[in-house]
Chain A
């Protein structure tokens, strides 16, 4: 699942259109949009709002694997040209000493840059760092739902010393800046989602475990052990299906179920380890 986080409606519009997202709900002022594979939240401006919106989106969708999270928005930079897209490699803020380092073992086309999140808009620039107002809150919130390699901030320079920010934003220009990166965003997110290895348990496993808990009168520890053993069996076996697992569990006493499972796992693991 791809999760996109923007502060502004004008940042979100090109993404909503490109990924064909539909309004799917809200949390306070944060608005959610989604399709089958992509979810987006418009959080409002500021680190706190971004953290709230990101958390709300994550909680509404649940932890998903694989997942990629990208905060997309505009930033200021002292000397990089307007339109330059930057992938944050360090995120700090003026409100906290703690810094974050998004890890990126994926190929991408963007320039890396340190990013500092400010609590208030600023019209002053520093060398070698971009400024935004959301990344710090977003990043900390997203860490609840994915690992660092899957959480990124893409910021597009909208102002610099030569073209300083103005109090009134040109929404159309901002949409165009985001639009210019759509192809790269799609490629980058696909790279992450295709590369992240996520073990998916078979859809029947949870039902089977629920039944097993009743039939075999499992303790909590035994339930955990049975889930682990069935998972191992399933990963080692090319042809384990619901029927075979059901037969094993429903027709044997508890002790025998665990013995047979262990024997199967040992045999299959031995066959694989040659």
Chain B
């Protein structure tokens, strides 16, 4: 990946991963900053404009690197955590909370992976009897920028050595060659974010088409990797039930039930302030106009709009998967 501009925090300039990225971008303007927040956080920025050509910010992740997930988000392990080695994503999904949460669409990369690993290890040691699940890909796509980040090169070997700790790589990417080049790891789930093709085309901009994602998932499953299905958020389009039924039929054609570690079903939900920013960025976007209700500081679909669809998709998943492998995120 090439960038026109790379911002670098002084404290991470000498890190080998920083140096590798800078060396592979010899034409980029290198701009030094003290803390990445000086570049990333100022309010007078426009996420939509920056999305045209995001810059890269390389920073040291300080403070709490591993965070517990909210109580409703889990895959049945004893404890669930998430961490973000990057902020922002290569793709431009119209429903994504990132566009409303951050002022800037620039990518922030935290290359001090060793600190993340240290914190994951400390968490694991603190809970020796528990099964722990660590989610990457909450504030970014886990695999889409692998050629830049080298994320899996560092994190997969760690999880391979610690089988009681699980890792989820959440992605829409078909960038899987580095996974296929190695043996699958029992406690790593490659979780694909999926939606019906028509929704992917209209709302998951710049992301690979559904067919390509399913093909990537199929290849990984054949190679022995555990696959996750992440239908999050469900989008209430016209004839949504039909779209989702057809979509699940397509999924089953590619992925037999035993290959699927888990499926999750999520609803569109957003803090009101984040939703307002998304609306302001894309005032022409019908997604933000249809069937949404603002209640108790959160914007979500009205139950009358979503409940039936959600049940239908759940039933569709349950027709092929045991319910113990289906999880709800709402």
Listed in ascending order, the chain A residues whose CB lies under 8 Å from chain B are 89-90, 99-101, 103-106, 112, 114, 143, 146-150, 195-197, 199, 231-232, 235-236, 265-266, 268-274
> Smallest Cβ distance from A48 to chain B, in angstroms?
20
- Of B111-119, B167-175, B282-290, the stretch lying at the interface with chain A is B282-290
> Smallest Cβ distance from B305 to chain A, in angstroms?
9
Also in contact, A270 and B290, with CB within 8 A (given A101-B31, A195-B49): yes
Is B45 a contact of A149 with CB atoms below 8 Å?
yes
User: Which residues in chain B, 19-71, are within 8 Å of chain A measured between CB atoms?
Assistant: 29, 31-33, 38-39, 42, 44-46, 48-55
Contacts of B239 in A (CB 8 A): 274
> Smallest Cβ distance from B273 to chain A, in angstroms?
16
Choice from A103, A199, A273 contacting B284 with Cβ under 8 Å? A199
Choice from A114, A235, A272 contacting B31 with Cβ under 8 Å? A114
Contacts of A89 in B (CB 8 A): 5, 29, 31
Some 20 contacts from A to B, beta carbons below 8 A apart, are A90-B31, A90-B33, A99-B33, A99-B38, A100-B42, A101-B31, A101-B38, A103-B106, A105-B49, A105-B50, A106-B52, A114-B31, A143-B44, A148-B46, A149-B49, A265-B290, A266-B289, A266-B291, A272-B286, A273-B236
> Smallest Cβ distance from B301 to chain A, in angstroms?
12
Contacts of B53 in A (CB 8 A): 105-106
Choice from A105, A148, A199, A236 contacting B44 with Cβ under 8 Å? A148
Is A274 a contact of B5 with CB atoms below 8 Å?
no
Instruction: Tell me, in angstroms, the Cα distance from A105 to B52 when the chains sit together.
Output: 6
Q: Is the interface of B mostly helix, strand, loop or mixed?
A: loop
Instruction: Tell me, in angstroms, the Cα distance from A273 to B44 when the chains sit together.
Output: 31
Instruction: Tell me, in angstroms, the Cα distance from A104 to B39 when the chains sit together.
Output: 12
Instruction: Output the nearest chain B residue to A87 by Cβ-Cβ distance.
Output: B29
Contacts of B202 in A (CB 8 A): 273-274
Listed in ascending order, the chain B residues whose CB lies under 8 Å from chain A are 4-5, 7, 29, 31-33, 38-39, 42, 44-46, 48-55, 104, 106, 198, 202, 235-239, 283-284, 286-287, 289-291
Contacts of B237 in A (CB 8 A): 270, 273-274
Give 5 nearest A-B pairs by CB, closest first: A269-B290, A112-B29, A269-B286, A272-B286, A105-B53
Choice from B54, B238, B287, B289 contacting A105 with Cβ under 8 Å? B54
Instruction: Tell me, in angstroms, the Cα distance from A104 to B6 when the chains sit together.
Output: 12
Contacts of A195 in B (CB 8 A): 49, 52
Also in contact, A236 and B286, with CB within 8 A (given A147-B44, A149-B49): yes
> Smallest Cβ distance from B307 to chain A, in angstroms?
17
Contacts of B39 in A (CB 8 A): 101
Instruction: Tell me, in angstroms, the Cα distance from A103 to B290 when the chains sit together.
Output: 33
> Smallest Cβ distance from A31 to chain B, in angstroms?
27
> Smallest Cβ distance from B299 to chain A, in angstroms?
14
Instruction: Tell me, in angstroms, the Cα distance from A149 to B291 when the chains sit together.
Output: 33
Also in contact, A112 and B31, with CB within 8 A (given A147-B46, A269-B290, A273-B290): yes
- Supply 7 further A-B pairs (C-beta < 8 A) apart from A103-B106, A112-B31: A89-B29, A101-B39, A150-B49, A197-B48, A236-B284, A266-B289, A269-B289
Is B45 a contact of A147 with CB atoms below 8 Å?
yes
Contacts of A270 in B (CB 8 A): 237-238, 286, 290
Instruction: Tell me, in angstroms, the Cα distance from A265 to B104 when the chains sit together.
Output: 30
> Smallest Cβ distance from A274 to chain B, in angstroms?
5
Choice from B7, B52, B236, B286 contacting A101 with Cβ under 8 Å? B7
Choice from B55, B198, B287 contacting A103 with Cβ under 8 Å? B55
